[in-house]
A and B are shown apart, each in its own frame.
Chain A
Amino acid sequence: MTAFILKRLGIGFATLILASVVVFSVMEILPGDPAQLMLGMNATDEALRALRNEMGLNDPVLLRYVSWIGGMLVGDFGNSYTYSSPVIELIGERAIVSLPLAVIALLLSTLIAIPVGMFAAARRGSVADTSVMGVTQLGVAIPNFWFALLLIYVFAVWLRLVPAGGFPGWENGIWPGIRSLLLPAVALALPQAAILARVTRSAMLEVLGEDYIRTARAKGMPRRIVLWRHALRNALIPVLTILGLQFAFLLAGTIIIENVFYLPGLGRLVFQAITQRDLIVVEGVVMLLVASVVIVNLAVDLTYAVVDPRLRTRA
């Protein structure tokens, strides 16, 4: 168990280091001078040179890499070239939009997909099962931004239940904020829920064929308890794996969805920063996203051991 955890931790750490080298190198070879960007086209040569020195742009590459990494470890992501405020502040302002969005989407998709997948598996071959599978097949094929447009048309333009886009900020109360995150969350959750329901169903079908399920039923345990207590727990491993992988898709999905709904989140921040060549913001956000993907997948690996005691002894 300890060996297993240590190995996973080591791999996660190595991945993060490699990723930071990749991100840093990509930003390094990109054209564009941050000093020029900050001072504008009419800046004098002396001013540019002074600013470059001050920002440490003339230091050797290795030194800049180390100070960049070291800074991030203590929460100093540098200062944005275009917003002239610390990157960490920008990230904080945007994360309070993106994080709740991702959490609501994840909750929605999990709460819908797992019961639906279990239901379909329990009634395998029935009309209900076939239609659920048909709907999920469709759900996988629908691009989430198109689904978002349809949602906007129906719920914002036509029924006027929720705003079509924008974000009022949390300072006006929790409910207005949640309300403007609802449609984006549903749009994000749809393809995830469809995939998750399919995975849950096939994992459940496999488990339901096991002897211990028959034993539990034979000794008179109600069907529902067998499904939820015995079968679900054993079917959780593939479901957890997919949930972990989906987290990365969810993060990436926010780039498009936040653009559809004009939400001031991390996805929109990084998208705008890329187009404005605000590289230090891009570096910071990308590293943060990569780190969260690595950590979530690490957490999923470690939960395996909790869910399946057999894995605890294996390294």
Chain B
Amino acid sequence: MTIESHVPEDVPQHWLRQSLTNRSFVTGLVITALIAAMALISFVWTPYDVTNLIVADRMKGLSAEHVFGTDHFGRDIFSMIMVGSRNSIAVAIVAVGIGMGIGVPLGCWAAARGGLVDEALMRFNDLVFAFPALLSAVMITAIAGPGAINAIIAIGIFNVPVFARVARAGALALWPREYILAARAAGKGKVLITVEHILPNIASMLLVQGTIQFALGILAEAGLSYLGLGAQPPMPSWGRMLFDAQTRMMVAPHLAIFPGLAIVITVLGLNLLGDGLRDVLDPRLRRER
């Protein structure tokens, strides 16, 4: 960013060129866009109606009519995957939102105040990180009852310390800078400085972390649904489809292949997008590749 400040007129073009030549970024963006499009299209059109059970067509293999075959209720697997993507995306987005919405203000607050507030936040982070996230998610959903909403809350809670940590580390590095000192000298309050100077400068870090947590959220949701604690039937979800597939794998392995691939491709796309974003937004953090 220091380099860019010398040639401000080049910034937008430079940014765009960098993004479009970054292989991770482009691949990740294309995959993510395709998955998002699939979820959106599923609201208006799917090849088959996923609420329509045709038992006569159960567990059919791959064919022209059913590209990914059918499940044990005769539902079209491709349509199920399309509808299931909504659930995965919605849970992950809201969970990241919870994490950012609570974690970022907490982290900024701790960095601005320092002292006891900072110490308290760090201990809170230690505490949450001491609980294996999935174990706690299982506890929360089992206690509050299974369902998409509780899965969101369970995953969201564990995003809070992650974002608090990233925001705090980013903000702490910025506070001693000259321009912050100048803003303070000019009489700006800590809140105003945080909003006007700190947040825009840590936004790229948060965005990158957001993509990573998004991917982790999709994996976590799939895990919870697999255990029967996520979205409840008849709402299709990728994790649940894998659970249903397990006992029928001897006769119909395709039941397990496609929902799993959907998860892998989505998570891979998001991770690539995150890597690419990091390279493009913050060249200083660029990892050796």
Contacts and interface: CB of A to CB of B under 8 A. Distances in A.
B129 interface: yes
A14 B288 contact: no
B273 to A, nearest CB: 12
Contacts of B143: 26, 30, 274
Nearest to B275: A137
A15 B127 CA distance: 5
Contacts of B250: 157
B167 to A, nearest CB: 19
Instruction: Determine the main DSSP class of A at the interface with B.
Output: helix
Given A15-B130, A143-B222, A137 B135 contact: no
Interface residues of A, number: 47
A143 B223 contact: yes
Given A11-B126, A252-B134, A293-B130, A274 B139 contact: yes
Contacts, number: 118
Interface in A255-276: 255-256, 259-260, 270-271, 274-275
A252 B245 contact: no
Contacts of A18: 123, 127
A271 B227 contact: yes
A22 B288 contact: no
A109 B163 CA distance: 28
Contact of A202 (B134, B138, B245, B287): B287
Contact of B226 (A141, A145, A248, A297): A145
B281 to A, nearest CB: 18
Interface stretch (A69-77, A90-98, A148-156, A170-178): A148-156
| Majority DSSP secondary structure for residues of B touching A | helix
A205 B286 CA distance: 13
Interface centre among B130, B222, B223 (most CB of A within 10 A): B130
A141 B242 contact: no
B246 interface: yes
A295 B142 CA distance: 27
A158 B267 CA distance: 28
Contact of A146 (B123, B135, B242): B242
A124 interface: yes
A259 B289 CA distance: 37
A256 B230 CA distance: 13
Interface in B184-215: 215
Interface string B131-142: 111110011001
A14 B223 CA distance: 31
A146 B253 CA distance: 12
Interface in B107-130: 123, 126-127, 129-130
Interface in B249-286: 249-250, 253, 256, 259-260, 263-265, 267-268, 271-272
A212 interface: no
A171 B288 CA distance: 50
Contacts of A141: 215, 263-265, 267-268, 271
A260 B247 CA distance: 10
A231 B58 CA distance: 57
Contacts of B35: none
A15 B139 CA distance: 19
B106 interface: no
A275 B129 contact: no
- Interface-centre pick from A16, A249, A275 (highest chain B CB count, 10 A): A275
A286 B135 contact: yes
Which interface residue of A18, A138, A150, A252 has the most chain B CB atoms within 10 A?
A252
B129 A248 contact: yes
A143 B260 contact: yes
A30 B142 CA distance: 11
A253 B132 CA distance: 9
A19 B130 contact: yes
A249 B135 CA distance: 9
Contacts of A16: 130
A275 B132 CA distance: 18
Contact of B134 (A137, A153, A256): A256
Contact of B142 (A146, A152, A260, A275): A275
Nearest to B143: A30
Given A26-B139, A143-B260, 13 more contacts: A18-B123, A138-B268, A140-B271, A141-B264, A145-B222, A145-B223, A149-B242, A150-B260, A248-B129, A249-B134, A274-B139, A293-B130, A293-B131
6 contacts: A11-B126, A18-B123, A18-B127, A138-B264, A143-B219, A143-B260
